[in-house]
Structure 1
Amino acid sequence: MHALHHLIHEEHSKDGEEGSPTVAKITAMVVLVTASFVVGALPIKLNTWFHWESDANQHGLVKFLLGIGGGVLLCTTFIHMLPEVNESFEQFDITPNMHYAEILMCIGFFTMYFVEECVHMYLKYKEREPSKEESSRSSGPDLDVIKRSLSIRRGEDQAEINALKEEMMAHKHGNEGHSHVAIQPNGSFIAIIRGLLVVLGISVHELFEGLAIGLESSPSNVWYMFGAVSAHKLVIAFCIGIELVTSGLKTIYIVMYMFLFAIVNPIGIGTGIIISNNSDSFTNLVSVILQGLATGTLIKTNPLRIPCYANSSDDHHHDHKSYESCYNNDTTLAKVLAMSILFVISFLIGILPIKLNKWFDWTSEAKHSVFVKFLLGMGGGILLCMTFIHLLPEVKTKIEGNHISAYISKRLAEILLCTGFFAMYLIEECVHSYLHYREEHLLLRTSLRIRRGEHLETMLKQDAMHSNQEGHSHGASFDTSNTIAIIRGLLVVLALSIHELFEGLAVGLETSPKSVWYMFGAINAHKQVIAFCIGIELVSSKLKTWVIIIYAFIFAIVSPLGIGVGILVCNFRQSTATISVILQGLASGTLVYVIFFEILQGEKKSGLLQYFAILLGFSIMLLLTFIDLAHTHN
């Protein structure tokens, strides 16, 4: 306490009337730990008034608040933190134009990704520890939770879930009269361990969020970061409190876990205070590096799982060719070749499963094989590096070359990226809503019967009885099923094609042959795996061969169309400088959506396999980038 008073007194004498960042940080520490603990423990009291269910944290209001918190973190990381790291690096005598801030951000992202996957693996291991004897006598609490979770995600009514649960319990009592007694102690232990590991896993994120506050250099920045972190942390604290209460833990455990969760942010802030109060050059460099890493962890912390990017550290002495028109003969030739190659390869790979289907027994699960998941992850890592280390710095360079206001140009690249991201997000949701609408009235009865556990034989018998009554029911059923498959296949291809159109546009707007082939390699690595997966999906859905060929052609042609649009834009030399930079910024945002919503979230169950695949793809592209930068500097 004496040291704390000494620190505050020292800061007051140092900052005078400007205000003390240390005082602001200490105040933020106290407010954050108090508010987090109170909000986290609040469900204990609320549980006496309301009947919380284990899916209470999925309530629409909580989802909405989590979304707001994610948006706040998104803006903070893009508009505030990474620009500050970039500016800090400019103060050091180091090799310029090496994208240090962006690389540190990615390192922080991969570090948090790895820690999170390790925690999840250990959590699964601890939950599977019950003896084989106990496991054989009952489905166990973990299996019950999984079944209930699947039921909720599939949209079953609570009454159906309860009925299923009662039936399972009756079955247990009929076969093993004391199964509840055997399960309960083990279930309590699992709940305690699970609660602890969940809190520890989330606390790692919170530690780095606190560090981000503690490393700020002014009171205004401290409160800016404090507001962003609080908006996210308090909602998470409330959700954790609900989760712990509904898991049946004793109040003492809930209070302990919430205190642990509440205290980690202040620990991070305190660490940042200690580091930032040392003024030697080495400590300053360490501070900047830690701030860059903390920025990357916010990407993984973000409940929207949205990536964040900031200004590149490119100086104004870049090669001024990047400010010129993207139209010249060599570049156009490279784009035309890329168009042709991309179309031919994508089309051939898209229809390849038709031929392979004669040799292998393809099913809809084939696209989930380990090898395909690894390739998808690797392609995601390549796109991640391309977006953050190549494409957005290029957009920023073009913005600076257009002589736009300095204040606007510092943020315009990131604003364009966010605009592209939200545009793609909206389009994707609209397509999914339409797809759901088209299928709902045709599949509702079958879906409900499947979710209620009816066997296929029973359903077929009922359909046969119905066909005997109606006479032509089988033909109608077949046509309906075939129509659904055709519509679904078309909408899936169109939805993915929107992404590919913007990816092609990113290639078509490049300004040199080298950049064209660089972008082509990254886009191609991702597109071909997707084309193969689409082919498997269409073949396994039993569509006619000519329908599959048409859909594969549509998917293959959209990227070349995007490249063609880019070439046309570049031909209008007077408007190229403005239009191309806007379109390129929007294309960057669509790539961000593909990476973090389609790849990372779509295959998140792959665990460490996906992590290493993404890391490998990112590392390969980063190595090529370093080789290119070193060659440029030489």
Structure 2
Amino acid sequence: MLELTGIANKTRLSAGSFLQGLTQSMSNVPCGGDTDLESCRDESAALILKIVAIASILVAGVCGVAIPLVGKKRRFLGTDTNLFVAAKAFAGGVILATGFVHMLPDATASLTDPCLPEIPWSKFPFSGFIAMMSALCTLLIEFIGTQYYERKQEKQSQIDPSHLLESGGIVPADSKGSSRKVFGEEEDGAIHIVGMHAHAAHHRHNHPQEGGACAGGLSGHDHGHSQSHPHLHSHGVSDLDDESGKRHVVVSQVLELGIVSHSVIIGLSLGVSQSPCTIRPLIGALSFHQFFEGFALGGCISQAQFKTLHSTLMACFFAVTTPLGIAVGTGISKIYNANSPRAVAIEGIFDSISAGILVYMALVDLIAADFLSKRMSCNTRLQVVSYIALFLGAGLMSLLALWA
């Protein structure tokens, strides 16, 4: 009985300490020393550098996201070229390093800052936990979003098949057959990993001419498919292409969500700073980062085959987010206290969420989807170039952590 009473008292005290810690975390009272005030503070020089940063990051973002969108109709820059695959691998490495090397350590530093109460922030690895849950939620959102979009297209195709063609969608060749199967399920009932199967199968179907044993295997595969599924060729579009198209729609939107969420934090952090010593190295680092994030996002948007207006809006939304964050941060720099417990906690939580989304998207939707495809496995030169690009992108972005 005494033991139960002791456990109950400890639980009550822990809950009280937890709630008290959360309450203290919402304080807007500054804590610790403000390094900007102590050294290298120059508001006029900082303002000039912020204007330069806005222009540089905006141009880098626009160029990065525009290359895949503008080049998709040109042979050299098309999304089906080996050059695009290698460049996308480089961009995947950049985004992966952003999540692991930049966002997650920053989140850990923020959520273990002495400015925050020891309980609960120092008693539990919140940054890793939030990042993990963010990645799992991203998987769930992708799965639900893909199924929703699939059902939506099936309903539209039954009402008016021409509507999908006009909107850039893909008309399912056999809506009845597809409605009886779970997304990712084949005729034998096997379930494949969401995203990877559709993307890899998309490459297998689109590149049957690649040489070696791959060509023979693919020929047999296509021949068998043509007998059991004659509608694939009569309609000119396969169910695999349909699945891949739906996946790209969801992937592009979730990836933009992850990029935008951390871009806001980055922009605000730079905008509220009054230290040229802090801002100067960030300009080049963030411009590099923004360009390749834009390239990866632009590739996903291009592969999703949105309408021109939809693609343009998504591209513009990405391009202006960080510059807008810098502008807002500059405007509120007089009243915003970046050293308050509330600001530190919110920044750490957002960084953790962004890290989870970016790591998941980089590994699953950008890297694994391409590197596990038949196209990659059947082209040794493309494998070598893509792996070099992947490690180079991750390495260079990690190296930028020395300055930003």
With the length of structure 1 as denominator, give the TM-score of the two structures. Answer: 0.37
C-alpha distance in 2 between matches for 1:389 and 1:566: 22
C-alpha distance in 1 between matches for 2:139 and 2:38: 36
Equivalent runs, 1:216-365 vs 2, <5 Å: 320-321=35-36, 330-331=45-46, 334-356=49-71, 357-360=73-76, 362-364=78-80
Shift of the alpha carbon at 1:563? Answer: 4.0
Number of the residue aligned with 1:440: 150
Number of the residue aligned with 2:256: 497
C-alpha distance in 2 between matches for 1:438 and 1:611: 32
Tell me: CA distance 1:379–1:317, structure 2 relative to 1, closer, same or farther (3 Å). Answer: same
Number of the residue aligned with 1:227: none
Tell me: CA distance 1:569–1:460, structure 2 relative to 1, closer, same or farther (3 Å). Answer: farther
Shift of the alpha carbon at 1:589? Answer: 0.8
Which of 297, 316, 323 lines up with 1:560 in the alignment? 323
Shift of the alpha carbon at 1:553? Answer: 1.6
With the length of structure 2 as denominator, give the TM-score of the two structures. Answer: 0.53
Number of the residue aligned with 1:187: none
**Corresponding residue SS for 1:369:** helix
Tell me: CA distance 1:611–1:492, structure 2 relative to 1, closer, same or farther (3 Å). Answer: closer
Which of 280, 285, 293 lines up with 1:530 in the alignment? 293
**Corresponding residue SS for 2:312:** helix
Q: Does 1:593 align with 2:353?
A: no
Shift of the alpha carbon at 1:521? Answer: 4.2
Which of 389, 392, 395 lines up with 1:616 in the alignment? 395
1:560 aligned partner, one-letter code: P
Q: 2:57·2:286 contact (CA, 8 Å) conserved in 1?
A: no
Shift of the alpha carbon at 1:350? Answer: 1.7
Q: 1:428·1:495 contact (CA, 8 Å) conserved in 2?
A: yes
**Corresponding residue SS for 1:360:** coil
Which of 345, 367, 371 lines up with 1:603 in the alignment? 367
C-alpha distance in 1 between matches for 2:392 and 2:356: 19
Q: Does 1:509 align with 2:272?
A: no
Alignment deviations for residues 269-309 of structure 1 (CA, whole Å, 9 cap, x no partner):
xxxxxxxxxxxxxxxxxxxxxxxxxxxxxxxxxxxxxxxxx
- Comparing 350-359 and 447-456, the one that deviates more: 447-456
Tell me: CA distance 1:422–1:561, structure 2 relative to 1, closer, same or farther (3 Å). Answer: farther
Q: Does 1:376 align with 2:92?
A: yes
C-alpha distance in 2 between matches for 1:323 and 1:525: 30
Tell me: CA distance 1:574–1:536, structure 2 relative to 1, closer, same or farther (3 Å). Answer: closer
Shift of the alpha carbon at 1:432? Answer: 0.9
Shift of the alpha carbon at 1:498? Answer: 1.9
Aligned CA-pair RMSD: 4.9
Alignment deviations for residues 196-215 of structure 1 (CA, whole Å, 9 cap, x no partner):
xxxxxxxxxxxxxxxxxxxx
1:432 aligned partner, one-letter code: E
| The structure with more radius of gyration | 1
**Corresponding residue SS for 2:78:** coil
C-alpha distance in 2 between matches for 1:612 and 1:490: 27
Aligned residues: 291
Q: Does 1:578 align with 2:357?
A: no
C-alpha distance in 2 between matches for 1:488 and 1:513: 43
Using the aligned pairs only, state the percent identity. 14
C-alpha distance in 2 between matches for 1:493 and 1:615: 21
C-alpha distance in 2 between matches for 1:545 and 1:427: 29
Q: 1:420·1:585 contact (CA, 8 Å) conserved in 2?
A: no
C-alpha distance in 2 between matches for 1:384 and 1:559: 20
1:508 aligned partner, one-letter code: L
Tell me: CA distance 1:585–1:329, structure 2 relative to 1, closer, same or farther (3 Å). Answer: farther
1:437 aligned partner, one-letter code: Q
Q: 1:383·1:523 contact (CA, 8 Å) conserved in 2?
A: no
Shift of the alpha carbon at 1:585? Answer: 0.5
C-alpha distance in 2 between matches for 1:541 and 1:560: 26
Q: 1:493·1:551 contact (CA, 8 Å) conserved in 2?
A: no
Shift of the alpha carbon at 1:592? Answer: 2.6
Q: 1:506·1:587 contact (CA, 8 Å) conserved in 2?
A: no
Consecutive unaligned residues in structure 2, runs of 5 or more: 1-30, 155-171, 188-220, 372-382
Tell me: CA distance 1:603–1:537, structure 2 relative to 1, closer, same or farther (3 Å). Answer: closer
Number of the residue aligned with 2:135: 425
Q: 1:382·1:522 contact (CA, 8 Å) conserved in 2?
A: no
Q: 2:133·2:356 contact (CA, 8 Å) conserved in 1?
A: no
**Corresponding residue SS for 1:588:** helix
Tell me: CA distance 1:328–1:551, structure 2 relative to 1, closer, same or farther (3 Å). Answer: same
2:57 aligned partner, one-letter code: L
C-alpha distance in 2 between matches for 1:408 and 1:323: 30
C-alpha distance in 1 between matches for 2:83 and 2:142: 20
Q: 1:493·1:555 contact (CA, 8 Å) conserved in 2?
A: no
Q: 2:267·2:324 contact (CA, 8 Å) conserved in 1?
A: no
Q: 2:92·2:390 contact (CA, 8 Å) conserved in 1?
A: no
Tell me: CA distance 1:561–1:574, structure 2 relative to 1, closer, same or farther (3 Å). Answer: closer
Tell me: CA distance 1:518–1:419, structure 2 relative to 1, closer, same or farther (3 Å). Answer: farther
Shift of the alpha carbon at 1:359? Answer: 4.0
Tell me: CA distance 1:378–1:499, structure 2 relative to 1, closer, same or farther (3 Å). Answer: closer
Tell me: CA distance 1:598–1:435, structure 2 relative to 1, closer, same or farther (3 Å). Answer: same
Tell me: CA distance 1:410–1:559, structure 2 relative to 1, closer, same or farther (3 Å). Answer: same
1:603 aligned partner, one-letter code: I
C-alpha distance in 1 between matches for 2:37 and 2:355: 23
Q: Which protein, 1 or 2, shows the higher relative CO under an 8 Å CA cutoff with sep ≥ 6?
A: 2
Tell me: CA distance 1:584–1:458, structure 2 relative to 1, closer, same or farther (3 Å). Answer: same
Q: 1:376·1:599 contact (CA, 8 Å) conserved in 2?
A: yes
Tell me: CA distance 1:594–1:387, structure 2 relative to 1, closer, same or farther (3 Å). Answer: same
C-alpha distance in 2 between matches for 1:422 and 1:389: 14
Alignment deviations for residues 544-567 of structure 1 (CA, whole Å, 9 cap, x no partner):
444432332233233334445555
C-alpha distance in 1 between matches for 2:37 and 2:150: 50
1:585 aligned partner, one-letter code: G
Tell me: CA distance 1:597–1:319, structure 2 relative to 1, closer, same or farther (3 Å). Answer: same
Shift of the alpha carbon at 1:343? Answer: 2.9
1:589 aligned partner, one-letter code: S
Q: 1:327·1:573 contact (CA, 8 Å) conserved in 2?
A: no
